[in-house]
Amino acid sequence: MTAVPAFKSLILHAQVYERGHFFVKAMSLSKKQQLIWLSFGVSVVLMLLKFVAWWLTGSSAILSDALESIVNVLASGFATYSVYLASQPSDLNHPYGHGKIEFFSAGLEGVLILLAGIFIIIQAIRQWIYPEPLQELDTGMLLVAITMVVNYAVGYYVQKEGEKQSSPSLIADGKHLQLDAFSTLILLFGIGLVLLSGFLWLDRLISIVFGVILIFNGFQIARKSAAGLMDEADDATVKRVVEILKEHRKEYWIDIHNLRIQHYGADLHIDCHLTLPYYWDLEKVHTAVHEVEAIIDLEFNSRVEVFIHVDPCLPACCHHCQLKNCPVRQYPCMKEIKWNRENLVLNQKHFLLALDENKADNQQ
């Protein structure tokens, strides 16, 4: 029974840390909004520059890049709203919060990129059939080069911050801006060839290649967003949680199973079953459960909601239970079950697995 004060001491320290951690999480929401506004503002300015470059040159390749920038502005605008909405607390109509709007935002961005690619190909084919003269390509190239550098720098920064905060909207927006920068680089190379060679058809060919790249990347972004909306298992996050539990594993955590993780935008909802000694009183069980919740929560920058179903241990658990000086132990501990991604996600108590392994060992 001396373990209870130790539990309470750990929880008191965790609660103090959690207050500071909650403040950090609140700050991260504000940072997300600042980043998305930065992305939106940059997209508007760069779009205007690209249209000026197209107006000066008449290049279909530059027009393609400018039209793709309209997608940047629309997507960043919706992402701005989605980040704001995702930051709102849960309510009676949305008990799990509003985080999934970020997946919808990223999916919309992917679809818009895909549609822009299709439109660019159609426009390039039209100008191939009905060609128009090009002019002032050097000035247009300079303006487009400026947009390329700014796009990549802002996109890289937004994506890295989005990865730190596990924000699908920021990650998609940052990747989109970087993709825009890379496609602009290809465009500049192509326009340079047109300027040197005088072959106007290269301008149209570059536009078609650019459109194909956009279609492919738009599909990839939309596919990942759909996976989030459909609650597809995120193997990287599951493995991270498994490693956290392994690192902080306690002897009285007899087993953890049926581990499930859902993403709500940047927020996480985690379910699992925890087996504890059957003779513990409710206060002690509650403290142990809160300990698990605190350990997981402190490892993530985003908001984490943990629901734990507690199972009482059974006599068969003794075969792998690591609890020392257990007053009701019926069998000696034969082996420790190593936790991994495979056995923690199964909806099956580990003592069954242990018995199966022991039977197989006895038969050999």
Q: Are 221 and 257 members of one domain? A: no
Q: Which of 88, 115, 114 is nearest to 101 (CA)?
A: 88
The answer to whether 271 touches 234, Cβ cutoff 8 Å, is no
Same domain, 143 and 239: no
Q: 219 is written with which tokens?
A: 């599909």
Closest CA to 18 of 310, 300, 307, 306: 300
CB 259 within 8 A of CB 271: yes
CATH of the domain at 203: 1.20.1510.10
Which tens digit of pLDDT belongs to each residue from 122-148?
877 877 887 766 677 778 888 888 988
Question: 172 and 250, same structural domain?
Answer: no
Q: Choose one of 181, 212, 229: the last residue of a domain.
A: 229
Position of tokens 């100008």?
127
Do both 61 and 87 map to the same domain? Answer: yes
Q: Which two tokens stand for residue 124?
A: 């390039």
pLDDT at 6: 45
Same domain, 163 and 148: yes
Inter-residue contact 348 to 333 (CB < 8 Å):
no
Distance, in Å, from the CA atom of 237 to the CA atom of 235, rounded to the nearest integer, reads: 6
pLDDT in tens, 158-185: 888 888 777 777 787 788 788 778 878 8
**Alpha carbon distances (Å) from 240 to 10, 24, 192, 236:** 22, 21, 47, 6
Same domain, 319 and 333: yes
Regarding whether 184 and 246 lie in a shared domain, the answer is no
Q: Select from 229, 255, 280 the last residue of a domain.
A: 229
Distance between CA atoms of 206 and 204, rounded to whole angstroms? 5
Domain carrying residue 332: 235-363
pLDDT at 5: 45
Q: Note the pTM of the prediction, 2 decimals.
A: 0.58
> Do 183 and 290 belong to one domain?
no
Q: What pLDDT, on a 0 to 100 scale, did the predictor assign at position 3?
A: 43
Phi, psi values for residue 231, rounded to 5°: 60, 40
Report which residue type is found at 164: K
Total structural domains within the chain: 2
Comparing CA positions, the residue from 4, 127, 122, 126 lying closest to residue 57 is: 127
Residue 290 sits in a domain whose CATH number is 3.30.70.1350
pLDDT at 249: 93
End residue of a domain, out of 229, 261, 293? 229
Burial of 36 by CB count in 10 Å (0-12 exposed, 13-18 middle, 19+ buried)? buried
The tally of CA atoms less than 13 A away on the side-chain side of residue 278 is 9
Query: How far is the C-alpha of 58 from the C-alpha of 73, rounded, in Å?
Result: 22
Please choose, from the candidates 73, 76, 74, the residue with its C-alpha nearest in 3D space to the C-alpha of residue 48: 73
Point out which residues pair with 264 in neighbouring strands.
267
Same domain, 44 and 174: yes
pLDDT tens series, the chain, 364 aa: 344 444 444 444 444 344 444 434 444 456 777 787 888 888 888 888 888 888 888 777 677 778 777 877 877 777 777 777 777 777 788 777 777 777 777 788 788 888 878 887 887 787 788 776 667 777 888 888 898 899 899 989 988 888 877 777 778 778 878 877 887 887 787 777 777 777 777 777 877 887 888 888 888 888 888 877 777 777 888 999 999 999 999 999 999 999 998 877 667 889 999 999 999 999 999 999 999 999 998 888 777 889 999 999 988 889 889 998 899 999 888 888 889 988 898 887 776 555 455 455 555 5
